[in-house]
Structure 1
Amino acid sequence: MAISSTLFMNAQHNIPKSIEKEALKALSFYPELTKNKIEFRFRKNIKKSTMQARPTFQSLFKKRRNRTYVVLISETFKISDKEFTTKDIPSDILIGWIGHELGHIMDYQNRSKINLISFGLKYLFSERFIVEAERAADTYAVAQGMEKYILGTKNFILNHSDIATSYKNRIKKYYLSPEEIMVLVEERSR
């Protein structure tokens, strides 16, 4: 399913060198995003999250095809009481994390300006909506053929002894389980 990452070298993506290999690999599963402006940007800290994808505020006032998206990546994240940098994450796990965020962008492209604003407000105030949005992003990623990476990321989090139980519970609550991912893969294969 993945296409050559060289297609993305001239595309409208701004990727830090330190994650270029992983971002290009994840993007290779999303040929529909080749012409989209996507910027990958590091942040000191992102609340309750390692990464976050969203349209830029200014691009909400543009046509859908001209929107710009940003994928914010926390420079560090905590596993129990230890702090790690994004560079400490294994490459395949980082590809899965980025692939999930690109799933959000796939979802955003089909939404109107008003719908995106409504989406943002619901995401802030409704736990049920967070579940819906996160599961949709996982579903997009699996539909694009990224199940190996999405499963790897889930297993890394759920089976890592140093990751806090609260974070594991958040993953279990909001995202597709490994079993649900395998059901989607089977359905796609039919």
Structure 2
Amino acid sequence: MDFDRDIPAEIKDVALKALSFYPKLKDVRIEFIFNENLWKSVMQAQPKFVTMFSSRKKRTYIIKISHWFDFKGKRMPIQDLPEDVLVGWIGHELGHIMDYSKKSNWSLILFGIGYLTSKSFVISAERVADTYAVNHGLGEYILATKDFILHQAGMSDAYIEKIKRLYLPPEEIIYLMENILVEEDG
């Protein structure tokens, strides 16, 4: 697959690996940028505002990525995280883009309002992104990312509780993975 992307060199290989699981995004414009102003998150996917009112085919999406990650109290470059963790994290963000790319302009506006104003809406949106990632073959990577965040990274208890509340738990991811395998075999 040939993705012609704006991807920082530090994460290009893992971003291309994650993108390879989403052949339907081949012709979708996605910019990967380092951003130090992410509020309480490591990565964030969204439509580029100036293209939000364009047709679906002409929209551009941005995946903002924090350049730094606090690992067990020490700051390290994001690209130093384990590859499978980064592929899973980017794969989750690409799940958001799959979801956004199916929405009309009006639906995107309503989505943004819902995301900013409703905790239950955020939970639904994050679980949809996880589900897209699992359904596109990234289940093992999503599990690696969750395991890393929940058990290895030394994240604060508040952040771990947020992850548990908002995203699919590992048991549900495994269930989805098993059902995909059953469907492929059946």
In 1, Cα distance between equivalents of 2:109 and 2:53: 11
User: Does the Cα contact within 8 Å between 1:39 and 1:69 map onto a contact in 2?
Assistant: yes
Shift of 1:66: 1.4
Q: Does 1:67 align with 2:59?
A: yes
**Aligned AA (1:106):** M
Shift of 1:125: 1.1
Q: Indicate the RMSD between aligned Cα atoms, in angstroms.
A: 1.3
Q: Does 1:39 align with 2:69?
A: no
Matched position secondary structure for 1:47: coil
Matched position secondary structure for 2:44: strand
Aligned ranges 1:19-38 → 2 under 5 Å:
19-38=11-30
Greater mean deviation of Cα atoms: 25-34 or 156-165: 156-165
Runs of 4+, deviation exceeding 6 Å = none
Q: Does 1:83 align with 2:75?
A: yes
User: Does the Cα contact within 8 Å between 1:45 and 1:76 map onto a contact in 2?
Assistant: no
User: Does the Cα contact within 8 Å between 1:12 and 1:38 map onto a contact in 2?
Assistant: no
Greater mean deviation of Cα atoms: 123-132 or 79-88: 79-88
Shift of 1:172: 0.3
Q: Does 1:180 align with 2:182?
A: no
Matched position secondary structure for 1:20: helix
Could you give the per-residue CA deviations for residues 50-106 of structure 1, whole angstroms, max 9, x where no partner exists?
A: 000011111112111111000000112334643232122111111100000000000
Matched position secondary structure for 2:147: helix
In 1, Cα distance between equivalents of 2:120 and 2:77: 30
What is the TM-score with the length of structure 2 in the denominator?
0.93
Question: What are structure 2's unaligned runs of at least 5 residues?
Answer: none
User: Does the Cα contact within 8 Å between 2:85 and 2:148 map onto a contact in 1?
Assistant: yes
Report the equivalent of 1:122: 114
What is the TM-score with the length of structure 1 in the denominator?
0.92
Report the equivalent of 2:105: 113
Matched position secondary structure for 2:52: helix
Given the alignment, which residue of 114, 124, 134 partners 1:132? Answer: 124
Question: What are structure 1's unaligned runs of at least 5 residues?
Answer: 1-6
In 2, Cα distance between equivalents of 1:118 and 1:159: 35
Provide the identity percentage: 49
In 1, Cα distance between equivalents of 2:44 and 2:86: 13
Shift of 1:161: 5.8
Q: How many residues align?
A: 182
User: Does the Cα contact within 8 Å between 2:72 and 2:153 map onto a contact in 1?
Assistant: no
Report the equivalent of 2:49: 57
Matched position secondary structure for 1:146: helix
Q: Does 1:167 align with 2:159?
A: yes
